Structure 1
Amino acid sequence: MLSTAEGVLLSIATSEAMLGVIGNGFIAVVNCTDSTRNKMISMINFILTGLAISRIFLVWLLISEAYIKIFSPNLLSSINIIELMTYLWIIISQLSFWFATTLSIFYFIKIVNFSHYIFLWLKRRINTVFFLLIGCLLVSWLFTFPVAVKIIRDSKMQYINTSWQISMKKSELIFHYAFTNGGIFLFFMIMLVVCFLLIFSLWRHNKRTQLSESGFRDLNTEVHVKAIKVLMSFIILFVLHFMGVTINIICLFIPESNLLFMFGLTTAFIYPCCHSLILILANSQLKQGSVRILQQLKCSKKGKLHDSLEEK
């Protein structure tokens, strides 16, 4: 039976999960609708749609694992369930952060103007950059999966009349956790580099271009600042997400740790929930799509109200 605090945290986490699914589902629907209307899929639309879909799967994986741990903890004593969740986590989490990193790099290449020949080459060959990033994802999986397979295989050999959580040593679990998230750490480091370059580009731009007499910043400065805000929000939310997932891993060693586990779960869900809303507000196409949908909902409610009044 859950305590009051556990029930509140579980309700918050479930609400965050629902908002995350709705927000990311909205991003996917708007981009798919625009691609169908234009009869073509742009690179940005593809990345945004892939990011939204991968985050929906990430949310479902986290919430499913949470409900299993809370209401059916015996299922987590099966090494097969742990194996399945590990492989799904590697694929979905790394794919989600890969899409987020790719999106930030594409915006960075479009916004920033460096005179270095490498940057100019990347700017002219943006499709090549995309395939290079796909190569990074494949290399990340190539290094991660063999280690995960070995650890799971060793755990199966140790799995004799005891649960997976108890049979695995702390050092092995830390090693397992580090390698199954190695790709995420790599993409996070790329995001930090991109953020630093954006700030450096803004500093250079402000140094060259003084504020106008009216006191308003030029358009390029506004674009830089907007991109930095979005990127910094992603970094902060990712750190919170990473802390929440780490707390959930630590809970494997703490008996009766449902309260701490649900606190970590609530923290982990802040990222997929809030960042989707930030993307909607920062992207003019998504913002216009949200306005259209709200107007349609408003009109449909008025129509239903009018019909009900006529029936009376």
Structure 2
Amino acid sequence: MLGAVEGVLLSVATSEALLGIVGNTFIALVNCMDCTRNKNLYNIGFILTGLAISRICLVWILITEAYIKIFSPQFLSPINIIELISYLWIIASQLNVWFATSLSIFYFLKIANFSHHIFLWLKRRINIVFAFLIGCLLMSWLFSFPVVVKMVKDKKMLYINSSWQIHMKKSELIINYVFTNGGVFLLFIIMLIVCFLLIISLWRHSKWMQSNESGFRDLNTEVHVKTIKVLLSFIILFILHFIGITINVICLLVPENNLLFVFGLTIAFLYPCCHSLILILANSRLKQCFVRILQRLMCSEEGKEFRNT
């Protein structure tokens, strides 16, 4: 049985998961409808749809595994179940970071202002950049899957006393953890570099505007600031998400600690929940659709109240 604090944290985590699913489903549906209406799939639409779908899968994997682990851990006893969950987790989590990194690079190449020939070459060949990122993703999977296979075959993960436990030295666990998340680290570093370059671009553009003393509204600066806010929010929330997942992995070394596990889960769900809302508010098309839906819901509620009076 869960204690009072554990129950509250699990309720918060479940609410975050539901909000994350609703927000990302909205993003995916809007982009899919635009694709059907225009009969064309733009790069930004494809990236946002893929990011939303990968987050939905990520949330379902996390919340399903959490509820089974807390309330019916015996369902995880077959080794092939935990192996399948591990594979699905690697695919969903790395796809999620890949789409987020692709989104940041897309914004960077479309918004930033640099005269360097490398930047101009990349700007004209954005498809080559995405092909390189796909190669990074495939290489990451090639490194990650063998680690999970080896852990399962060597019986490093065992179901003992109604809980899953990892039986290996801390140094070995750290090495396996690094290999499994190596691709995630690489993509995250690329995102940090892109965010840093966007800040430099904004600083240069602001300096140029001050030197010209232009009184006109600077739309480019607004776009710069909005994009940097989206990227910084992703970086902060993803760091919290990674901390939460790390706490859950540590729980495999500290069995029967539901409080620590649920706390890590609550932190991990902040990312798919909050960042989907940030993307909706930052994207004018998504924001307009969201406002229209809210207006229709409010009108329908007012109509019901009017009929009841």
Question: What range is the shorter-chain TM-score in?
Answer: over 0.9
Q: Is 2:243–2:268's contact at 8 Å kept on the other side of the alignment?
A: yes
Q: Is 2:158–2:165's contact at 8 Å kept on the other side of the alignment?
A: no
CA distance in 2, matches of 1:214, 1:252: 59
Between 1:77-86 and 1:221-230, the stretch displaced more is 77-86
2:35 pairs with 1:38: no
Q: Which structure 2 residues correspond to residues 238-253 of structure 1 after superposition, within 5 A? A: 238-253=238-253
Shift of 1:43: 0.9
CA distance in 2, matches of 1:25, 1:96: 14
Between 1:158-167 and 1:264-273, the stretch displaced more is 158-167
Across the two proteins, how many residue pairs are aligned to each other?
308
Corresponding letter in the other structure for 1:218 = D
Hey, which bits of structure 1, 4+ residues long, moved more than 4 A?
A: 158-164, 211-217, 302-309
Corresponding letter in the other structure for 1:181 = N
Residue in structure 1 matched with residue 190 of structure 2 by the alignment: 190
2:278 pairs with 1:278: yes
- 1:165 counterpart SS class: strand
Corresponding letter in the other structure for 2:228 = I
Q: Which structure 2 residues correspond to residues 160-175 of structure 1 after superposition, within 5 A? A: 165-175=165-175
Shift of 1:304: 4.5
Shift of 1:55: 0.1
CA distance in 2, matches of 1:300, 1:159: 53
Shift of 1:183: 1.3
Shift of 1:298: 2.9
Shift of 1:215: 7.4
- Cα 1:299–1:203 shift into 2, 3 Å: same
RMSD of aligned residue pairs (Cα, Å): 2.2
CA distance in 2, matches of 1:42, 1:108: 16
- Cα 1:166–1:224 shift into 2, 3 Å: closer
Between 1:286-295 and 1:274-283, the stretch displaced more is 286-295
Q: Is 2:230–2:279's contact at 8 Å kept on the other side of the alignment?
A: yes
- 2:255 counterpart SS class: coil
Shift of 1:57: 0.3
> Mind listing any 5+ residue stretches in structure 1 that lack a counterpart?
none
Residue in structure 1 matched with residue 2 of structure 2 by the alignment: 2
> Mind listing any 5+ residue stretches in structure 2 that lack a counterpart?
none
Corresponding letter in the other structure for 2:145 = F
Q: Is 2:54–2:96's contact at 8 Å kept on the other side of the alignment?
A: yes
CA distance in 1, matches of 2:181, 2:166: 22
Q: Which structure 2 residues correspond to residues 186-225 of structure 1 after superposition, within 5 A? A: 186-210=186-210, 218-225=218-225
Corresponding letter in the other structure for 1:239 = I
What TM-score does the superposition give when structure 2 sets the normalisation length?
0.92
Shift of 1:211: 7.5
What TM-score does the superposition give when structure 1 sets the normalisation length?
0.91
Corresponding letter in the other structure for 1:95 = L
- Cα 1:224–1:166 shift into 2, 3 Å: closer
Shift of 1:161: 7.8
Q: Is 1:77–1:165's contact at 8 Å kept on the other side of the alignment?
A: no
- 1:155 counterpart SS class: coil
- Cα 1:15–1:215 shift into 2, 3 Å: farther
Corresponding letter in the other structure for 1:266 = T
Q: Is 2:165–2:255's contact at 8 Å kept on the other side of the alignment?
A: no
CA distance in 2, matches of 1:225, 1:164: 45
CA deviation map 1:274-308 (0-9, x unaligned): 00000000000100110121223234334545566
CA distance in 2, matches of 1:296, 1:34: 20
